[in-house]
Structure 1
Amino acid sequence: MPAPISIIIPAYNAQANLPDCLASLMPGLEGGLIREVILVDGGSDDHTTKIAESTGANILIAPEKGRSAQLRHGADHARGDWLLFLHADTTLSPEWVERTSAHITERPNKAAAFTLAFRSDHPMAKTVARRANWRSRVLGLPYGDQGLLVSRTLYDQVGGFPDVPLMEDVELVRAIGKKRLSILSAEARTDASKYERDGWRKRSWHNASLITRYLLGASPEKLAKHYT
């Protein structure tokens, strides 16, 4: 029986973080959990695709710009019964294999995201992650930085990722619904460079403002103009 999971990684000029992302997947390959790793490139002009090729990943070129287009293109070509969407600047903690395997076996009708952590020693890192994890568990709104594990059946049932320039991850998990979403105790450890560049408080308020405006009805197209 083929391994169950297709890993789909949208990437653009990701050479700095991609090696660690791919290395964190090795336990899943060794454990027979991963059928394939698909990197969907958005037009990189660095060594992103060479790094992915060196690990045996399948390389696809997105037909159009934007992360949503990359995610949809990867899903369209994936062969696994389960899809794990993972950002190129995110690494998974070692226990992700055990937690993911248990989820597939015990909760086959639910999607799942991981617990967020930042790869940073800044004092605000744990505070911001704690707020994000509260939002994920209480509101059922994890972001793409936390990864998303979803069966092919459920993904197709809710229509997959929408064709929008921003909030594609939030729109998909809202379509899935809180009752069909679990948060796994394994960590998705994401890059913190945007927080360190902008300041932790400023970046946190910026992100909170965007999600609030989105939930109040602002269009992803309008919000994308204010996202950096």
Structure 2
Amino acid sequence: MPTLEEELLRLMTEETARLHAAPDLVERVVRGSRRRRTRSRIAALSASVAVVAAPVAYMGMGAATTTGGEVTISATPEPPAIDDVPPQPSEPPTLGDLGDGKAFGHVKVGYLPERLIWSRWSVNFGDKYSTAYGYEGDDSGFYRVQIYMYEQATVEEVADRIAAHRDEGEGEEVTVGDRTGYLVVQDVGEDGMKGTPTLFLKMGERQWAEIMISPVYAGELGDADAVTAELRRIAEGLTSTL
């Protein structure tokens, strides 16, 4: 039985003979028909490959078997893990309600300069924690005195900082009662900033305190001797509870 293409060729040959058309007209029409069909088949195949390739590429090394000349995928693709909530930075836990702020972590504060109260601010990084004190009703956020405690492995940070100050010829060794310490003005700015008067106090083999008076408060206290005297009083009143 003649194919559709053969029948078309026969009919067009007879018609062109009757019309005295160009002798290759039938071949050109048939070739064009074949090219169009070929392009259609290629386009359809490309679309099919694209559809199949996407899950295959997604599956990566999924198993495949050949059956009757056809490739079938035996693995079932697993959906990718979806986590549309990016990790959020977490704030360090506070030291909780400190009451009057004179007992926190493993230390008790026996002395604070006149008018200073707990600022109700604190941070807790485990073996390193801090709180601060300011004026009652002062909403400016400025501290007047801050105490930072270092325990266990974090005392190495204090040792490194003191060593750096020694190397730079900054500060001096001090004795507070039967405890040793280091007195220095930290962060002196080249732009005329006064820096932060600080007393590092060794409270035990694995516990140090860093007592700081803000540059603003240092100016309110007066000269360097007055500032040093307040630092020493605060240091003398600190008691370890370790």
More strand by share: 2
TM-score of the superposed pair, with normalisation by structure 2: 0.25
TM-score of the superposed pair, with normalisation by structure 1: 0.26
Radius of gyration: which is bigger? 2
More helix by share: 1
